Amino acid sequence: MIMPCVAALFGRRVRWRAIASAFVLLYGVLKACMVGAVDLPIAILGVDVGLDRQDIRVLYQDRDRLVWTGTNKGLYVFDGVGFLHMGSAQGFDSSAVVGMSQDASGDLWIATSVGMQVYHQGRFATVEPDGHPLIADPGQTMAIKPDRTRLVVSGHGLRVVARQAGGDWTAQPLFSLQQRQQDPLLERIGVVATQADAVWFSCGDELCRLQRGAIRHFGIREGVPADTWRDILVTRDGSL
């Protein structure tokens, strides 16, 4: 699936380069298998393939199996041969990338140090709820619910990002003021992930789950040690 998508983005020249690269990699793997080796070939990808000397902060593979790379300076996509820089030609406002996520419609959401940008039908656009930049906290701070609700952690709080009929964006707190006053940990959210109909997130040094409107804390009494939570992974079989 990767070849048609890359060709559509970057032209036919990329298609043949990527196909040639795939055959070279396949040959290396088959050769290793025939001689009974257990090691796979490893390539160091850097300046020589288009990635400048930068800090890589986010790697994300979309549904078309393109690998997007967010760095401290901007955004790149790996075409199977090299890294292609996303910039003004694609409508992307280059800045440090802090997170990525893809929604149910296939749009790719890019959180940067200057705001949120979304990749839709080959172009990037800025998401500015009520005319203001939406700054996501660094890390695993974006999630998409099965009902396509977009969740973003911003300022240590969970926000629901939605597009109105007229095209304007809104970003409203997921939890009411009363809920946050009764449970101060709802203003100390670090990471977020979805699991079926549940939303999991870090709340202070605990884990919390929102399911069917009810919030449950998982702390020391539930066997979860107090810690700083950096990632939540949901496996293919639904395990957390």
Give domain status of residue 149, yes or no. Answer: yes
SS3 of 79, please? Answer: coil
What burial letters (b/e) apply to 35-68, b meaning 16+ CB within 10 Å? eeeeeeeeeeeeeeeebeebeebbebebebebeb
DSSP 46: S
Give domain status of residue 51, yes or no. Answer: no
Contacts of 160 (CB under 8 A, 6+ apart): 149, 150, 151, 171, 172, 173, 174
Provide the domain limits for residue 157: 140-240
Give domain status of residue 197, yes or no. Answer: yes
Instruction: Give the model's pLDDT for residue 23.
Output: 45
pLDDT in tens, 194-223: 998 899 999 999 999 999 999 999 999 999
Contacts of 106 (CB under 8 A, 6+ apart): 62, 63
pLDDT in tens, 22-66: 444 555 545 555 555 556 666 566 665 556 666 888 889 999 889
Give domain status of residue 13, yes or no. Answer: no
Give domain status of residue 17, yes or no. Answer: no
Task: Of 102-106, 138-142, 157-161, give the range with the top mean pLDDT.
Answer: 157-161
Give domain status of residue 178, yes or no. Answer: yes
pTM: 0.74
Q: Domain total for the chain?
A: 1
CA 6 from centroid of its chain's CA atoms? 19
Decide: 136 and 99 in contact? Cβ < 8 Å. Answer: yes
